[in-house]
Structure 1
Amino acid sequence: MDIVEQRYNQLVSGIGRLLDEGRENAVLQVNSTLIKTYWEIGRYIMEFELNGSTKAAYGSNLFERLSRDLSALYGKGFSRSNLSYMTKLYNSFPKRETLSHKLTWSHYFEILKTDSALEVNFYIKQCEKEKWSVRELKRQIKSMLFHRLALSTDKKGVLKLANEGHEVLNAEDLIKDPFVLEFLNIPEQHIYLENELEEKLISNLQQFLLELGKGFAFIARQYRISIGGKHFRLDLLFYHRILKCFVLIDLKRGEIEHTDIGQMNLYLNYFKKEEASEGDNEPVGILLGAYKDHILVEYATSSITNKVLLAIVSIIPTK
């Protein structure tokens, strides 16, 4: 009877997998058809507008009239805003084959609000790679992720960023300066302590991991390090599965001081000797603070061989 029950459970699981795959494929197919249709609508509108007599006949009222008439005939989905973005979809992707069918219309609607073709391409690639929801995409655009990453990238690098998305190839690629943590909901004018910031990050760990980027796996908070009879506490410990190394994060409420850099260097030396396993690369330390003095940082890090990275935390307070 146990064998029969086991086989029956396998049958149910197998059917469940087929249903999930079928539903997923159906959604993808519907979405792909919708994107193609909206692209074609955009093309029709552009071809109509480019006709010499169009502007004289309709002027700026074209979208308004189209919205009213199409909504009356076909229902919702034909607001002036939607129609204008269908046109923008066509203008941004003159070749329909270049459209990504992994994204929904809601993704495209948000991405097409951005400033340049480079930015559009970047967010499309990131959505594909990171499988962002529309909500997460909106958060990343609002936090100016593309601009933050592009600030430290040369022209060739910006083009690569737009065409391939953000690739984590070395420790420096982990840094976004600043990290934007608006999801912490810290009230305006509130003076937060380091342990309070840590509590907020842990409570919003999923959002924090999304802001950190792909590859981070959370290990521990307040990780204890014992050296020579003295005990230290590292705020947050992660492992990065792409770089294959530990990532140590310490949180600073105010300015990042030279003593903070020295302490992080101590932690990294400890992890290299005591915690790293065979196959692990050297650990990386990240100090997150409210601000930093660039000259002080230059002198404090110039002779350090360990990877100590510094970034500003931008906390957007709630009203």
Structure 2
Amino acid sequence: MSGKAVKAKSPTPDEPILPLVQEIRDLVRSARRAAAQNVNTLQVVTNFEIGRRIVEYEQKGLRRAGYGERVLKELSLRLTREIGRGFSERNLKYIRRFYLEYRETVPQIAQTLSAQLPAKATTETPIGQTLSAQFTPAFTLSWSHYLFLMTIDNRDERRFYEIESRQNQWSLSELKRQFNSGIYERLALSRDKKGVKALADKGQIIGNPQDVLKDPYVLEFLGLDENTHYSESDLESAIIDKLETFLLELGKGFLFEARQKRFTFDADHYFVDLVFYNRLLRCYVLIDLKIGKITHENLGQMQMYVHYYDREVKLPDENPTVGIILCRTKNDALVRLTLPEKSNIYASQYQLYLPSKEELKQKLIEWSETVPDTPEAA
């Protein structure tokens, strides 16, 4: 024999990948047997584990140029032939990316799962049950949700939408609607830098009235055309017709109580357009609708409504009433001059079309460059 050291060959796509095919096949079949327990969770965690196996197999190839793509192509052909649909090369790329994106989210599980899972599925140790038990706390959304979330490049923004989808049980269509309406940017623009970081870490936390405010509110779901004539009554009726979606746009904790709520004093009748209660803030929230530019008369009227509710309606253990004037055009200077500094009355604009995501992102960039960093608490 020659005295030269023999360099170990790394696997190539040209060599049989039967062990990898068998391992993934057994994984998928075992997961499918347990699918009746939790279809969505099992699909997500099974894809995470498939992604892990693919990445580990590719790493044995020392990341040579084009190696991973050739592995995925051959793997797609074999799995499709042996298992069926769902394993196109494109889908396998998503699965691989899902593991790479989320292994940092669940680092402890990702590091220890290999030791906990059996090498092969058996009747005594079904992999599907092990997967479900390990990952259920980490992955709570459907695979379709995660596919959409992976299209969001900003990780803080992605994490926000993931938390909000889980906490509010958003359907995929509602998640897309909230993303397209730019709720992350609209909330971020009303906070300091520490508050923006909290959005990514914890989602929207409701601790004071300002936390529920958005500017603008996006009401494209009402189906009203801003270029045609409509009345405040039309706007109110459209909101009632789409009340469930309007509550989602308002945010967390809102309960609807009444429209055109009447109260009387000195023989005069007054009507509040919309009355809500927020169970997180433990207070009434009154909304007045204005289709034009806000005036000081509008602000004074809302002050009267809020004072009445604070003095005649709210219970002693409830928090002060909040008033929101929803208008087409807001005048910040007028609001500041008319209302006391610590007033619980706010003016916010509404719009009947989805905002431009790019414009909102640009505003957020400009805002981050002008707002100073929040000092750390001593």
TM-score, normalising length from structure 1?
0.82
Alignment of 1:16-95 (within 5 A): 29-47=38-56, 51-52=61-62, 54-56=64-66, 67=76, 70-95=79-104
Matched residue type, 1:160: A
Give the Å deviation of 1:154. Answer: 2.2
3-state DSSP of counterpart to 1:55: coil
Counterpart selection for 1:267 from 305, 315, 319: 305
Give the Å deviation of 1:81. Answer: 4.7
Is 1:111 paired with 2:149? yes
Corresponding residue number in structure 2 for 1:279: 317
3-state DSSP of counterpart to 1:254: strand
In 2, the alpha carbon distance for the partners of 1:126 and 1:101 equals: 14
Is 1:142 paired with 2:180? yes
Give the Å deviation of 1:222. Answer: 0.6
In 2, the alpha carbon distance for the partners of 1:289 and 1:305 equals: 21
Contact 1:28 1:102 in 2 (8 A): no
What is the count of residue pairs matched by the alignment? 291
C-alpha spacing 1:67/1:312, structure 2 compared with 1 (3 Å):
farther
Q: Which has the larger radius of gyration?
A: 2
Contact 2:35 2:42 in 1 (8 A): no
Which segment drifts farther, 138-147 or 31-40? 31-40
Structure 1 runs not aligned, ≥5 long: 1-24
In 2, the alpha carbon distance for the partners of 1:35 and 1:224 equals: 51
3-state DSSP of counterpart to 1:113: coil
Is 1:247 paired with 2:257? no
Give the Å deviation of 1:299. Answer: 1.5
Give the Å deviation of 1:219. Answer: 0.7
Give the Å deviation of 1:58. Answer: 6.8
Q: Which has the higher helix share?
A: 1
Give the Å deviation of 1:66. Answer: 5.5
Contact 1:285 1:307 in 2 (8 A): yes
Give the Å deviation of 1:30. Answer: 3.5
Alignment of 1:208-223 (within 5 A): 208-223=246-261
Give the Å deviation of 1:70. Answer: 4.1
3-state DSSP of counterpart to 1:210: helix
C-alpha spacing 1:271/1:80, structure 2 compared with 1 (3 Å):
farther
Contact 2:310 2:320 in 1 (8 A): yes
C-alpha spacing 1:69/1:293, structure 2 compared with 1 (3 Å):
farther
In 1, the alpha carbon distance for the partners of 2:329 and 2:311 equals: 31
In 1, the alpha carbon distance for the partners of 2:224 and 2:77 equals: 44
In 2, the alpha carbon distance for the partners of 1:72 and 1:189 equals: 55
Contact 1:31 1:101 in 2 (8 A): no
In 2, the alpha carbon distance for the partners of 1:80 and 1:152 equals: 43
Give the Å deviation of 1:123. Answer: 1.4
Matched residue type, 1:32: T
Contact 2:256 2:276 in 1 (8 A): yes
Corresponding residue number in structure 2 for 1:315: 352
Is 1:180 paired with 2:218? yes
3-state DSSP of counterpart to 1:219: strand
C-alpha spacing 1:102/1:171, structure 2 compared with 1 (3 Å):
same
In 2, the alpha carbon distance for the partners of 1:63 and 1:254 equals: 58
Corresponding residue number in structure 2 for 1:306: 343
User: Which whole-Å deviations, capped at 9, do the CAs of 1:74-111 have from their partners, x for residues lacking one?
Assistant: 33323455333323322221244387322111111122
3-state DSSP of counterpart to 1:121: helix
Structure 2 runs not aligned, ≥5 long: 1-33, 111-134, 355-378
Give the Å deviation of 1:232. Answer: 1.9
Matched residue type, 1:142: N
C-alpha spacing 1:55/1:253, structure 2 compared with 1 (3 Å):
same
Matched residue type, 2:155: A
In 1, the alpha carbon distance for the partners of 2:263 and 2:347 equals: 21
Matched residue type, 1:92: E
Matched residue type, 2:291: R
3-state DSSP of counterpart to 1:252: strand
TM-score, normalising length from structure 2?
0.70
In 2, the alpha carbon distance for the partners of 1:215 and 1:110 equals: 26
Matched residue type, 2:353: I
Corresponding residue number in structure 1 for 2:294: 256
In 1, the alpha carbon distance for the partners of 2:63 and 2:199 equals: 42
Counterpart selection for 1:205 from 238, 243, 260: 243
Give the Å deviation of 1:55. Answer: 2.7
3-state DSSP of counterpart to 2:329: coil
